[in-house]
């Protein structure tokens, strides 16, 4: 076992970093509410533009510039990262739209569904096999989504787009031989030309809402780069210091925080269909988590080779 590989169920100091990453992602709707007067496309463009310099600073500190340059020269890697960059841009845009239009509940549901989508994608594209409990969890979640088709169809597209775009993004990043931070830097590099064009267009239009219209809003849009890069760096650190299975349990922190924010801070109405769906999703997560805990416990009890 290498020094960067943690045994299942082991923290090895990674838990604080994981909690930090998912807490930031959970509270990020509060940040986006501060810039809700800005068109979502401009917020996305500014987020990408300002993420790249911070990524380079962190890569310099972590001595990962060489990995970034090597990946840039690999056409196969670039093609895969182009696809992942489009998916993550779509994910970010839909999430920003959801926050701006007071649909944080729908966004929260999307990220609750994400681990179950990962399981299904792994089964379809990676040949992974579902345990009986995992299959049961997916069926329960599917019933919840079916209920939304009947009672909350207007926001279902948000939840499913977020879940499947991020799930497919994760699937691509799983098979691309490049680290988390250099990969993000390449994705933002690929998205930079369109982002600069979009940012320049909105500055040229000058409708008094976006970057350049005032010091406060300009600083907030620039800070979007920090909001993007810092939790990803924390996540990458956590992933190296604890098992990925254990990290999976912590990921429910972010949608849980968003769920509470939507109800108690943003005062979003909770439809009956949404409530039933959330209850079923939580039940599926309980089944899924129990199965993961059981496997982690079995691995801990296995004698060392």
Q: What is the pLDDT of residue 5?
A: 42
SS3 readout for 51-80: HHHHHHHHHHHHCCHHHHHHHHCCHHHHHH
Q: What is the pLDDT of residue 208?
A: 62
What pTM, to 2 d.p., does this model score? Answer: 0.84
On whether the CB atoms of residues 173 and 236 are closer than 8 A, the answer is no
How far is the C-alpha of 173 from the C-alpha of 177, rounded, in Å?
8
Q: What is the pLDDT of residue 2?
A: 38
Q: What is the pLDDT of residue 1?
A: 36
Going residue by residue through the chain, which has 305 residues, state the pLDDT in tens, using 9 for 90 and above: 333 444 434 445 778 888 998 899 999 999 999 999 899 999 999 999 999 998 999 899 889 999 999 999 999 999 999 999 999 999 999 999 999 999 999 999 888 888 778 778 888 887 877 788 888 888 888 898 888 776 777 888 999 999 999 889 888 888 888 888 898 899 999 999 999 999 999 888 876 677 767 788 889 999 988 898 888 778 877 766 766 556 666 788 899 999 999 999 999 988 888 889 889 989 988 888 888 788 777 777 776 54
Q: What is the pLDDT of residue 135?
A: 84
Q: What is the pLDDT of residue 127?
A: 80
- Minimal CA–CA distance to 285: which of 260, 257, 249? 249
Q: What is the pLDDT of residue 260?
A: 92
Q: Helix, strand, or coil here: 156? A: helix
What is the separation of C-alpha 140 from the centre of its chain, rounded to a whole number of angstroms?
Answer: 23
């Amino acid at each position: 076992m290498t020094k960067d590989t943690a045994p299942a169920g082991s923290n090895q100091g990674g838990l604080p970093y994981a909690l930090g990453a998912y807490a930031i992602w959970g509270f990020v709707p509060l940040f986006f509410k501060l810039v809700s007067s800005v068109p979502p496309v401009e917020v996305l463009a500014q987020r990408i533009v300002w993420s790249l310099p911070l990524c380079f600073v962190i890569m310099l500190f972590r001595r990962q510039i060489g990995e970034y340059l090597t990946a840039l020269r690999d056409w196969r890697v670039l093609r895969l990262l182009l696809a992942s960059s489009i998916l993550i841009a779509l994910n970010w845009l839909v999430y920003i739209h959801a926050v701006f239009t007071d649909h944080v509940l729908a966004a929260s549901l999307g990220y609750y569904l994400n681990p179950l989508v990962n399981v299904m994608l792994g089964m379809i594209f990676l040949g992974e096999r579902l345990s009986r409990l995992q299959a049961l969890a997916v069926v329960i979640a599917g019933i919840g989504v079916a209920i939304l088709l009947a009672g909350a169809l207007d926001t279902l597209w948000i939840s499913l787009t977020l879940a499947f775009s991020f799930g497919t993004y994760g699937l691509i990043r799983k098979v691309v031989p490049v680290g988390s931070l250099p990969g993000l830097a390449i994705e933002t590099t690929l998205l930079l030309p369109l982002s600069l064009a979009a940012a320049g267009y909105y500055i040229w239009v000058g409708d008094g809402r976006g970057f350049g219209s005032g010091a406060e809003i300009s600083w907030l849009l620039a800070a979007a780069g920090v909001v993007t890069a810092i939790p990803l760096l924390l996540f990458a650190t956590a992933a190296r210091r604890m098992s990925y299975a254990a990290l999976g349990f912590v990921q429910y922190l972010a949608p849980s925080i968003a769920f509470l924010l939507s109800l108690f801070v943003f005062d979003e109405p909770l439809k009956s269909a949404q409530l039933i769906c959330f209850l079923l999703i939580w039940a599926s997560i309980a089944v899924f988590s129990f199965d993961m805990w059981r496997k982690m416990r079995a691995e801990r009890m296995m004698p060392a080779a």
